[in-house]
Structures are given as C-alpha cells and as structure tokens.
Amino acid sequence: MNATQISIFIRENYMKNFMLHSSFLISIIISILMTSFSVLGQWYETQGSARVDSDTVEIARTKAMESALKKALLVAGASVSSIQQVVNGLITQDEISIRASGSVNSIELIDEIYTGNLITVTIRADIFPQEKKCFAVNFKKSLLLTRSHILHREQANIGNIYDLNKAVITNLNNKLKQQSSFTKTNLLLKSKTQFSRLNNSLYSEKIKDLVMSLSDSTNSQYILFSEINDLSFEQSSTNTWQFWQQSTYPRNFTFTLYLYNGVNGEMTWQKEYSNKAVWQFSKRQSVNVHNIAYWQSEYGLMINKLLNKVVADIDENIMCEPSRGKIVQINGNQITINLGRQNGVKIGDEFSLLHLNNFKGNNGLSYAGFNVSPFKVKITKLTEQSATAITINNELLGNIQINDLAVRY
C-alpha cells in the first residue's frame, strides 16, 4: 500500500474543528503520509465514549476516538505500558499510553451518537502488523477486593488512621468502577481474611484454598489482596517531636497488591507501590480517612495517584486473560454459566468448555488441570448474572459436569 492509498476518513463537516483540537489526529496523518506499506493490515471496528461536560464537543470527540483506537490496538496485540508516554507517535496524552506491536495504517470515523452529554463514536482502524488477538478484551472479569492489612499498626497512631485499610480499598473500588474497562468489582470489607498471616508464613497451599473458597462464595474470577507496608514519618525514628516543629511532615505510603486467579488459586500478579507526601494535619489530630477533606490533602492526593496506576496495571494484567464462567446447571445439551450481561456477555457469543482435572505433583502440591472439551456452546439466553448456552451441533455434553468451565479466549 502506497502513501496515496492511505487516508483517514473523517466526516467532512467536522474536519476543520477536529483538526484544530486534535494533535493526535495530526500526528497520525504525518506518520501515514511519510510511510508506505507493502502488506495490507487488518481492520478493527471499535467504539469509544467521552463526556462533553467541561470539554468542547470537538475535544470530547477526540477523547472518544482515542479511547476507541486504544481498544483496537489492544485487541490487535498491543499492551498498556505507562500512563505518560507517547504511543508510537500516534497519541500524546497524559491519560493514555500504549506500547503497540504494529502501526495504524488508516483510521475511519464510522458513526457518532449523542446521548445527553455523552458522545459515542465508532471507528474502523487498519492495524499492521498483528502478532496476537485478544478475544477476551470485551469481557469484564469479576474481581473481589478484600480489606487491606496494615502491617505495622503502631504507624497509624498519628492521625488515628487505623481505618485506612478500608478507605484505600473503597477508593480503589470506586476508581475501578469509573475507569476500568475490564473488571466488575465486589467488596469484602466487613471481615478480614487470613491472607497476610498465611503470606507471612509462606503457606502457599492454604492461600490457594482461601482464594478458591472466596471465588466460589462470591462468584469472582479474581481475588485481590493487599498490605499497607509503611505509614511512617521519614524523621520519626530520630526525634519525633523535633521534626514535628518543622514546616513540613513527610509521611510514607507503601502498598503491595497480590492478584490471584480464583479458578486455580495461583497468583497472577504482584506489585509494590510507594511514595511520600506532606502530612498537613497536626500531630494530635484524629483524621477521618473516609472524609473528602482527607482525600483532597497532599497525602490523600498522593495515594490517589498511586491508585490510578493500580487501575491501569490491573487492567493490563487481566484484560486479555480468558473469561471463565463456572457451569452451574446442565440439562442435556444446555448449560447455565455464572457470567451474564454485567460481564459483557452477549447473545450468540461462543464459549469453549474445560473439564476440571485437578492433580497432585510429585512434590505433593496440588495443581488445577483442565481437559479441553471438543464441544463449543453458543449463548441463547441472558440475565444480568448468568447465561444459558447450547452446544453448536446439538450434541450431548458427555462428561462435562457442574463446576466445569466455559471459557472465552
């Protein structure tokens, strides 16, 4: 494909304003005009949305197109890399970053719909080359967030912030609901789990049992544990009162997250986040960590920024993981699974079936194994939390049993 064959199709009546407000589109045009391709890419059609609110219509349209292009690149095999980077010269924006395995040859604006102050655009992107597909990107994985654990509770004395273990997870849950395209979250805050005690004792098998038990009882595909490792003041180890007489009081915040797969109890991802910020409250002041004033303080804003990174990292680590639904009912060639409309399942979606085949290794440890069934099923009925499917060729399901898996890769 030569340069004259490569173009971006944008509605004519929006071209002038869109060009004025869209540096990302300009960079695409420049990169396209300067490059020629000898092999055709593959087209991906995706949707993106943005709110007009404080933005102009043109800027909101640009953001919606960027969101749609991001999804197209992810499906084509790109991955989120960092929050403040340039995307192969295509997109330059603080909130979006992609490490693409290929290039965008052409992008076409197909449609745009206005619903109140929300603009939704449909684009078609020609992406080349493509190393892998991410069929699960449109499915939301169910994620259980458990109450965090403060490892050194004495560090929470100043400010009386013992409730931070709940407040941080509540805030993370809200951010995931607002920002994540790939998760559907549930909260477990009223009771603490035994994760930290088991983790400290290296009881990996008991952690697996805990994960799978929580997964079963909450219908969650992933379980997230966390520990608050450090709430100390930088100078408190030398002279607590002397450093408090200074104009600033830097306080640390270190947070470690552990993401587990509920199906097999194995850890998928672990990461530590750490930063510090000025503690603006007096030494004897009791601080309400659920109050908006706390989250608007320098320390609260610092934690908020860390949580934004957490959301991006969680999305990157589970977005292309297969969507697994447990089979909860079998009737002839028909099954019911515990994934539904709220997970992004649609009528006509096809799932592969996996038969559970757990085993123990020579080391005595248990492992979750699966036998891939030759059967595929197609979704015929939907509720918010479940879906009914039948075998594509109306075949009986053989040895498929309740608690086996229906998987969309």
Listed range (78-87, 100-109, 308-317) with the worst mean pLDDT: 78-87
CA–CA separation, 140 vs 343, rounded Å?
5
How confident is the model over 360-376, as pLDDT tens digits? 667 776 666 676 777 88
pLDDT at 100: 45
In 3D, which of 207, 208, 211 has the Cα closest to residue 188?
Answer: 211
The domain in which residue 355 lies consists of 323-408
Same domain, 199 and 309: yes
What is the rounded CA–CA span in Å between residue 58 and residue 16? 10
The pLDDT score that the predictor gives to residue 306 is 96
Out of 133, 149, 177, pick the residue that ends a domain: 133
Domain end point (choices 67, 100, 133): 133
Lowest mean pLDDT among 196-210, 225-239, 282-296: 225-239
Q: Are residues 403 and 291 in the same domain?
A: no
Q: Considering the chain, what is the average pLDDT of its residues?
A: 78
Residue 125: per-residue pLDDT: 73
Strand 405-408 versus strand 350-356 pairing type: antiparallel
Q: Do both 380 and 311 map to the same domain?
A: no
pLDDT for 295 beyond 70: yes
Which whole number is the average pLDDT over 81-95?
Answer: 35
> 213: which residues sit within 8 A by CB, 6+ positions away?
none
Residues 123 and 166 in one domain: no
What is the per-residue pLDDT across 176-200, written as a single tens digit (0 to 9) for each?
999 888 899 999 999 999 999 999 8
CA–CA dist 296, 313 (Å, integer): 23
CATH code at position 45: 3.30.1660.40
Residue ending a domain, choose from 84, 108, 133:
133
Contact between 169 and 148 (Cβ < 8 Å): yes
Q: Tell me whether residue 372 is exposed, middle or buried, using C-beta atoms within 10 angstroms of its C-beta: 0 to 12, 13 to 18, 19 or more.
A: exposed
Between these two residues, 245 and 403, which has the higher pLDDT value?
A: 403
Look at 204 and 93; give whichever has higher pLDDT.
204
Query: Residue 358 CA to chain centroid, in angstroms?
Result: 28
My answer on whether 345 and 398 are in the same domain is yes
Structurally, the chain folds into a number of domains equal to 3
State the sign of the Cα–Cα–Cα–Cα dihedral 48, 51, 54, 55.
positive
CB count within 10 Å of CB 301 equals: 11
Same domain? 188 vs 105: no
Query: If phi over 0 gives left and psi between -120 and 50 gives alpha, with beta otherwise, what is residue 295?
Result: alpha
Report the distance separating Cα 271 and Cα 316, nearest Å: 13
Checking if the pLDDT of 93 tops 70, the result is no
Whether residue 28 has pLDDT greater than 60: no
Closest CA to 275 of 242, 321, 308, 318: 308
